[in-house]
Chains A and B, each alone.
Chain A
Amino acid sequence: MNDFKVLVVDDEKDFLEMTVKRLSKRGIDCQGVQSGEKAVEKMKNYHCDVVLLDVKMKGMSGIETLREIKRSNPLVEVIMLTGHASVESGIEGMKLGAFDYLMKPMEFEPLLEKLQEAYEKKNS
């Protein structure tokens, strides 16, 4: 699984650290950043396969970040994750090329499965 690289983007520090920790424990190369701006910057050097992206963040929003990521790295798969069930942002995210749209709270195993699906799609 060391080839599988995931970038987690969320302004909730506790969630970010825990998710990175748990993914890393499963042998996934995982990095975490707390804002959209940092994610865009990070991806210049860190070539990940899947981005787990929070929709509602301070500063650059999830949708804006998604747009930027897809512009610079069109092959990267993005899974949107949010605590807010906004249908519009979900639809917009899917239109911009997001792999899927998940609702918090999400258990770890289904999340892992979704990341795996995205990784497989990227490499297919």
Chain B
Amino acid sequence: MNNKYYASLRKRFLILIIGVSLTPLVGISWSTAYYFHKHAIKHVTHDLERMVSTRQEIITRSLENQKEQLARLLRLYSSEDLKNQSNLERIFVALSSDSIIDLSVIDGSGNHVAYVGPYSEKLLSQNYKETQWFQDVMHKGSYISDIFSGFREVPHFVVAVVNPLRNLILRTTINSDYYNSLLRGAQISVNGDAFIVNRLGELQTQRRFGEKTISEEEARLLTFHEGTQVNSIKNNLYVTSWMKDGEWLLLVKVKRNSVLKMFLEARNLDIVLLIIASLLIITVSIMIVRQMVNKIAKADYKRASLDSQMLQVEKMASLGRLAAGVAHEVNNPLQLITDQAGWINELMDDEDPKKIKNIVEYQASVKKILNNVKRASAVTHKLLGFSRKMETEKENVDINILVRETVSFVEDEANKEEISINLDLQDEIPATMTDAAQIQQVFFNLINNGMDAVEKGGSIDISTTSDNKNIIIYFADSGPGIADAILDKIFDPFFTTKAPGKGTGLGLSICYSIIKKLGGEINAKNREKYGSVFTVILPIVNLTNRVS
């Protein structure tokens, strides 16, 4: 067997089967993971966008409310009323909000004219005419500052509104803790954060883990955009929304793995299942391919064996035809030699023996010619017998005759090698309908093998016996026997123990096939003391049996 060929076949089958099985599996797993991930991202993004949008709206409304409240006070009260300290205190009490720290009234020249709150001593002497916020509020009508600590050393921001006549400003200070608490609810996931920065990236609210600045990657998000936007940077998702006319950016940061936890768990399970399924497919594929290729190899092996047998049969048939032709061509001249020699004899009978000087020599020569023609004739008759046996039809065969005839073929060679062939044939063995030519080939092969096995002076014992159903023929030799390890392989095609070039390894395989085909059995075992014995069991088939 060509092992490389079958190894390559095995490899190709494996690649094909595993490829065909795993490709759709991997494809399905990948597409499922891809679309699940896409859906999860979409879902998470949607939730985050909604949350950020809501928070942004709440903060924006809260700031607007502060502004609206101050504008309403300016509309409700006259300038004089608001400049009155006791009035302002009543209004402050009426506002009664945790987030409002103080309330100031500033005139059009920037002078602090009334104040309610904890820092009256410091603030009442202040003039704000040159400050940016004052100019902004005078210019725009209202103002909301960034968050700063100032001299109060508490993060806060101010909201200021000027009356239509631009001569009175109401200003209130808002504690930024209120917004910190508003954003705390948006700090989702374990490592998540939510904070507000201004355009310069300065924090307007506290960060969850106390950072005082924003990172470089967070700084890259400080680009104005409408609505809410989701950005994926490294392992984080950032949801951003600009507010306060683009002055503040609400930024919510979540760890991607935290929000996609369910997806990641499902994906990991998917990967584990994929690995298990792949391993199963590979294992089963290897087993199936191994079995399949072994079967192909066996079938090839069997076919090669049958081809060899067919070749052998063809060769034998050709040899038979050749033998018949040779016999015919030789028999005709032999007939002539016989006739001519006989004719000489007859003519000499007519002569006077005394007148023929060498008559005795002539008669002896003619006799020798006739004897040698007989010898040659015996050879041609054997050839013709051999030729006839090449025909595959079954006939009534006397196994003992067949054994004797086969032995006669090898007798000369056996004598030359000083090998004795001993026959112990059962008398009156029943004849059987079988293929004489094929059986003779089996006997011939077994005797030849025996002769190869024994040394000079060895022996081959052939015996026949029968019971009601079978004829049994034993071929025992005095050779070294067969090693136990190879005893079950000797009938395999191409198995030989002979030196290279001396045996084809087909002899016993052909014997096995022939006997099996004829419904018999053949086996080999070692004799108790030395040598091996081959047993051929042939069923007794007669015409009656055959018809029935």
Contacts and interface: CB of A to CB of B under 8 A. Distances in A.
Interface of A: 12, 14-15, 18-19, 21-22, 25, 56, 82-87, 103-108
Contacts of A22: 339, 342-343, 346
Given A22-B346, A83-B328, A103-B331, 17 more contacts: A15-B339, A18-B340, A18-B343, A21-B343, A22-B339, A22-B342, A83-B327, A83-B329, A83-B335, A84-B324, A85-B381, A87-B388, A103-B381, A105-B334, A105-B337, A106-B335, A106-B338
Given A22-B346, A103-B331, A107-B370, A85 B337 contact: no
A21 B342 CA distance: 12
A107 B340 CA distance: 10
A105 to B, nearest CB: 4
Contacts of B334: 104-105
A25 B342 CA distance: 12
B335 A105 contact: yes
A105 B331 contact: yes
Nearest to A17: B339
Interface in B303-349: 324, 327-332, 334-340, 342-343, 346
A107 to B, nearest CB: 6
Interface residues of B, number: 25
B6 to A, nearest CB: 47
Contacts of A18: 336, 339-340, 343
B343 A15 contact: no
A79 to B, nearest CB: 14
Interface in B373-412: 373, 377, 381, 384-385, 387-388
B335 A85 contact: no
B328 A105 contact: no
Nearest to A21: B343
7 contacts: A84-B327, A84-B384, A85-B384, A85-B387, A105-B338, A105-B377, A106-B335
Given A12-B332, A85-B381, A103-B331, A25 B338 contact: no
A108 B324 contact: no
A112 B338 CA distance: 14
B107 to A, nearest CB: 147
A59 B349 CA distance: 39
Nearest to A19: B339
Contacts of A86: 324
Contacts of A103: 331, 381, 384
A117 B334 CA distance: 24
Interface in B346-375: 346, 370, 373
A98 B525 CA distance: 52
Nearest to B373: A105
Most interface-central of A15, A85, A106 (chain B CB within 10 A): A85
Contact of B336 (A14, A21, A25, A84): A14
Given A18-B343, A22-B342, A103-B381, A56 B335 contact: no
B340 A83 contact: no
Instruction: For the complex of A and B, list the 10 residue pairs with the smallest distance between their C-beta atoms, beginning with the closest.
Output: A83-B331, A85-B384, A105-B334, A105-B335, A84-B328, A104-B331, A104-B335, A18-B339, A83-B328, A108-B342
Interface of B: 324, 327-332, 334-340, 342-343, 346, 370, 373, 377, 381, 384-385, 387-388
A108 B331 contact: no
Contacts of A14: 336, 339
Contacts of A85: 324, 327, 381, 384-385, 387-388
B338 A56 contact: no
Contacts of B343: 18, 21-22
Nearest to B377: A105
Contacts of A107: 338, 342, 370
A15 B388 contact: no
Contact of A15 (B324, B332, B377, B385): B332
Contacts of B331: 83-84, 103-105
Contacts of A108: 338-339, 342
A6 B343 CA distance: 19
A107 B384 CA distance: 19
Contacts of B327: 83-85
Given A84-B324, A84-B327, A25 B346 contact: yes
Contacts of A84: 324, 327-328, 331, 384
Contacts of A83: 327-332, 335
A87 B385 CA distance: 10
A107 B346 CA distance: 13
A104 B329 CA distance: 10
A13 to B, nearest CB: 10
A18 B384 CA distance: 26
A103 B346 CA distance: 22
Contacts of B324: 84-86
B281 to A, nearest CB: 64
Nearest to B334: A105
Nearest to A54: B332
A104 B381 contact: no
B114 to A, nearest CB: 147
Contacts of A19: 339
A85 B385 CA distance: 8
A11 to B, nearest CB: 10
A14 B327 CA distance: 19
Nearest to B339: A18
Contacts of B332: 12, 15, 83, 104
A18 B385 CA distance: 28
A103 B382 CA distance: 13
Nearest to A86: B324
Name the residue in A22, A82, A87, A104 with the highest tally of chain B Cβ atoms < 10 Å from its Cβ: A104
Contacts of B338: 105-108
Nearest to B376: A105
Contacts of B337: 105
B290 to A, nearest CB: 52
Contacts of B385: 85
